């Protein structure tokens, strides 16, 4: 059985991070938990220190300054030792119980990357209409640029084989990570699947951080990462999809 590396970027999630780690530990998969604290200021660091000393977290990385989700994920990617990497938000919106389903197409040899879609019929909390409209528009624009037919480009749950993930030129520090990873996978001609997942979205009162400014920034990121690919993009078309020939270290 292949090992799954779960990268958990954390910023000021003192109320939920312990519960997320607990749910991950209940998943019936060989996995390692890599938590990256993005310079939290609300007591999260103390909770993570206890979880790490108790062996609930396999690797704890502390960013010296707040740099954003993308930078935290890249730090986790560098530390991963598993065969597959997936990102897990620390806010309880995504359920780790979906992870076996998420990596199923990769384990079956049918996919290099799998997106967990919140819009394919999975259980979900009913919340903001305009968020769903904005997400649909961003996914549509991304699909037009990548020629993929995704239903949820902005999903956190993206599982990617580790050699492929490490070969991609990922540079975005903040929420541009999602469109960047999608663009790089398309440019690598990776085999991408989608599976339905459950989703329990938070309100802003409950701590949701992403807002309309991030949506506007995402438009720029989609155009930027698709119109300006890296100088020597990885391509899986002519080689082993599990072992990209060109290594471009994650920065």
Q: pLDDT tens across 168-220, in order?
A: 999 998 778 999 999 999 999 999 999 999 988 644 444 455 665 766 777 88
Q: Summarize the chain as % helix, strand, coil (round to 5).
A: 35, 15, 50
Helix (H) / strand (E) containing 117: strand 113-117
* Size of the chain in residues: 251
Q: What percent of the chain has a predicted confidence (pLDDT) above 90?
A: 70
Domains and CATH numbers, the chain: 4-227 (3.90.550.10)
Rounded CA separation 143/152 (Å): 10
Instruction: Give 144 or 122, the one with higher predicted confidence.
Output: 144
Is the per-residue pLDDT at 70 higher than 60? yes
Residue pLDDT, tens place only, 98-141: 999 999 999 999 999 999 998 887 665 655 565 677 777 889 99
pLDDT averaged over every residue in the chain? 88
What is the structure's pLDDT at 17?
Answer: 97
What is the structure's pLDDT at 205?
Answer: 45
């Amino acid at each position: 059985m292949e090992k799954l590396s779960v990268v958990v970027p954390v910023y000021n999630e003192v109320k939920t991070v312990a519960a997320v780690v607990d749910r991950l530990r209940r998943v019936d998969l060989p996995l390692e938990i890599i938590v990256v604290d993005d310079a939290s200021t609300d007591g999260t660091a103390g909770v993570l220190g206890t979880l790490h000393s108790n062996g609930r977290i396999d690797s704890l990385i502390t960013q010296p300054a707040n740099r954003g989700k993308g930078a935290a994920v890249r730090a986790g990617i560098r530390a991963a030792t598993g065969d597959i990497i997936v990102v897990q938000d620390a806010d309880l919106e995504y359920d780790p119980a979906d992870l076996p389903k998420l990596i199923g197409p990769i384990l079956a040899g049918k996919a290099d990357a799998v997106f967990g879609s919140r819009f394919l019929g999975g259980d979900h909390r009913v919340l903001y209409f305009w968020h769903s409209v904005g997400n649909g528009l961003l996914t549509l624009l991304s699909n037009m640029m990548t020629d993929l037919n995704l239903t949820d480009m902005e999903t956190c749950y993206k599982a990617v084989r580790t050699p492929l993930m490490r070969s991609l030129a990922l540079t975005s520090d903040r929420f541009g990570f999602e469109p960047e990873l999608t663009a790089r996978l398309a440019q690598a001609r990776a085999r991408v699947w989608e599976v339905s997942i459950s989703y329990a979205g938070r309100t802003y009162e409950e701590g949701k951080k992403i807002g309309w400014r991030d949506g506007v920034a995402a438009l720029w990121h989609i155009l930027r990462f698709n119109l300006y690919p890296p100088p020597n993009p990885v391509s899986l078309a002519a080689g082993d999809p599990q072992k990209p020939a060109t290594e471009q270290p994650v920065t």
